[in-house]
Structure 1
Amino acid sequence: MSSVYSFTLCFFVAVLNPVSLALGAARSSGAAGFSLPLVPHYRTAAGVLEELLPEGDAEGGVNITSIRPKMIPYSGPLYSVRVGVGSGATQHFYKLALDLARPLTPPTPCIRQLSDRGLAGSRFSYCLVGKQHEHLHRRGFLRFGADIPDQSHARSTALLHWDLAKGRGMYYVNLVGVSLGGRRLTAITPATFKFDPHSLRGGCTLDVGTAYTLMAPPAYHVLAAEVVKHMQRHGVHHAILPPAQKLCFHGTWDSIRVHFPSVTLHFYPESASLFIKPELLFVETMHQHTHYACFAIAAYAERTVIGAGQMLDTRFTFDLQHNRLFFAPEDCHLDTSTVN
Structure 2
Amino acid sequence: MITIKDIADLAGVSKTTVSKVLNNKDQKISEATRQKILDIIKETNYVPNKMAQSLVTKKTKTIGLIIPDIRNPFFTDIARGAEDKAVNEGYNIILCNTDESLYKEELAFNTLSEKMVDGIIFAPSSKTEISSTYNISNKPIVLVDKEIDIKNLRGVVSLDNEEGTYLEIKHLVGMNHKKILYLSGPLKTQIAKDRLKGYKKALEEAKINYNEKLVIQGEYSLDWAYKTIQSLNDINFTAICAANDLIAIGAIKALKEKDIKIPKDISVVGFDDIQTSSIIEPQLTTIKQNSYNMGYESANILINSLENKTINNIDKIIFKPELLIRSSTSQKL
Query: Same fold per TM (> 0.5)?
Result: no
Taking CA–CA contacts closer than 8 Å with sequence separation of 6 or more, which of the two structures ends up with the larger relative contact order? 1
More strand by share: 1
Name which one, 1 or 2, has greater alpha-carbon Rg.
2
TM-score by length of 2: 0.29
TM-score by length of 1: 0.28
